[in-house]
Structure 1
Amino acid sequence: MDFKESDEHRALRDAVSAIAAEFGGDYFARKAEAREPTSELWQALGEHGYIGINIPEAYGGGGAGLTELAIVCEESAARGCPLLLLLVSSAISGEVISTYGTAAQRDEWLPRLADGSGKVVFAITEPDAGSNTHRLSTTATRDGDSYVLRGQKYYISGVDEADAVLVVARTGTDEASGHGRLSLFLVGTGAPGLVKQPLPVSVTLPERQFTLHFDDVRVPADALVGTEGDGFAQVFHGLNPERVTGAAVCVGIGRHVLDKAVEYANARTVWDRPIGAHQGVSHPLARAKIEVELAALMTAKAARLHDQGEPAGEAANMAKYAAAEAALSAVDAAIQCHGGNGLSVDFGLVPYWGLARLLRIAPVNREMILNYVAQHSLGLPKSY
């Protein structure tokens, strides 16, 4: 086993870090407070080929893998600019369209995902289905050379920034199990009958959340991605990358807030010595450092397994769990290190707590990860 990072990956980290550092935490905080997209940073990363680094070269992408996309996610977050839509547009939509899309779909969407000029967000969550994908009630009914979508989606990120939504809908029912047969559709955000309702949340983020209503939204048959009824397997080809990139963002958040805490602990002097000299300050930061580094190792393992075509579900879930916990611990330690200043807008720590707390819940909550590990890794009886 060789844990030394390649020269190519080190250069990638340096390049992404340099671009994100030009914007920094103050930029992110302003955008988050205003609920405005981080469009300038997205465009800058796109122009240098990093937004679509995992898109095939034939479509203008970098031709790299999830490992490299995770590096982009981590390094931008480590410079104070976590980009939530990398998880859905680049990771989920990019992977799914690249793998299952028709030639026409790939020609239309992948070049725009590659250079950052377009975004495709993801719609699976519903108010009444929760984590039970089999219970999705949004339907897509074949009508001649079209499909008609009816239903509702909930907590859909970045619809206001996107050109299209990759929608998971029920196209039938498996008679043996009673589970829905799922299919994927590319639906333009301006499609007639698609109603986008802002969903207010208390977390301070640039990306906004929406409830989507599909009121007889008609799309052509060629909007179907992959094979009708095979959507469940296709979805999970995108969900594992989402979990890995979510973990990478959390690792980056942990690194960023620890850098800020260490700087403060070295500069802030009380009783004639830096507060970092006191174990009550240094030990929580050291513990957070260890947790972030451990999470980074599992994130790298999960990304590599995915890129090698190996089963990555276990590692992706573990990485997401560990990284979200590590990020939260790191933000909490950083805030505590700053004392009252930890809650000051000027020091800009609280937005990272909100995002890390969100990523403890989404895209899959910690309890469902524990269920997965108990059942699939340990062989314990299913609990739900």
Structure 2
Amino acid sequence: MSFTAKILLLGSGELGREFTISAKRLGAYVIACDSYAAAPAMQVADASEVFSMLDGALLRAAMEKHDPDFIVPEIEAIRTEVLGELEAEGRTVVPSARAAAMTMNRDNIRDLAANELGLRTSRYRFAESLEEVLAGAEHTGLPCVIKPVMSSSGKGQSTVRSADELEQAWTYAVGNMRGDRPRVIVEEFIDFDYEITLLTVRTREGILYCPPIGHRQERGDYMESWQPTPMSGAARSDAQAMAAAVVNNLGGYGIFGVEFFVRGDEVIFSELSPRPHDTGMVTLISQNLSEFDLHARAVLGLPIPEIRLRAPSASAVILADREAENFHFEGLGEALAAAEDVRLFGKPVTRKNRRMGVALATGADTEEARGRATEAAGRVKIRYD
């Protein structure tokens, strides 16, 4: 079999699915791994493996079986010390084993940004008990935000506006965390004007930036995103400088989703993911190269032309409202009559508030695009058999 590179993809959700498609278009051979069978990326990959990425022995066994050129994490919940061992043995981890370890938990990346790099962040404290949560809230003041140091897609996050909500927020965060460490971050609630994701591509030739992506969240999870987001020149320059400082510190090549709060010209670092970002799904329609194309090219060391915005664009998610194994979709034709594209992720089961697809639309401006994407997403109905 002839291929340009062999990629072991750790995590096979919707982001991994789109990355797999982009990588295969460039001739790569992809082995998609996840903890459950028939995950979205597995459906389009060359091969698949089912195991928990938190099991170091199984992670190493998959690597030894497939002998990949690149190990590409798509999720945070990975036995990162094994990635470090593999990198020390000469394997290439994307973007680096250190980046995977630093971003597996929010405490590491927040301490790096605030303490080592001196970036502007919200006030924060970490807590491993209700007593420490109470002390953390005293430090940050109310309202505050409480979330697990390790989770996915905003799960376990809540905004606390009064002291009698702290215990419930602690319980909710621990109940929705990933991994085996009951630890949360208590952080100052920032009264921001808007929040953005700055997709930052670290390549062998330097750093590239996508136009800023605005987004709206519910329960800490992305509901819609749009591109571009108007920013002052000063705010955009500060965001790019802060993103460059973090990604250069983490090293390696690939795309990073760097999140910021923006208040006037003030930019406040929030979080970072060393991989394609869920809010970046909008780039499937908004840019000449999607975030997945950019990630694949950066990983493989291929040239990246100028990143161009095609048109004001938006994405809106399609959510399930319950847990089910037997279901089907209706209204796809109606949705495609309202917007340019709908992507259904192919997840084998639904769960309450689980993302099952996304609608993508363009418009004369972002408001029109958002309206069209939201309308299209609403026309897709999940029917339970």
TM-score, normalising length from structure 2? Answer: 0.28
Based on CA coordinates, which of the two structures has the bigger radius of gyration?
1
TM-score, normalising length from structure 1? Answer: 0.28
More strand by share: 2
Relative contact order, CA 8 A, sep 6+: which one is greater? 1
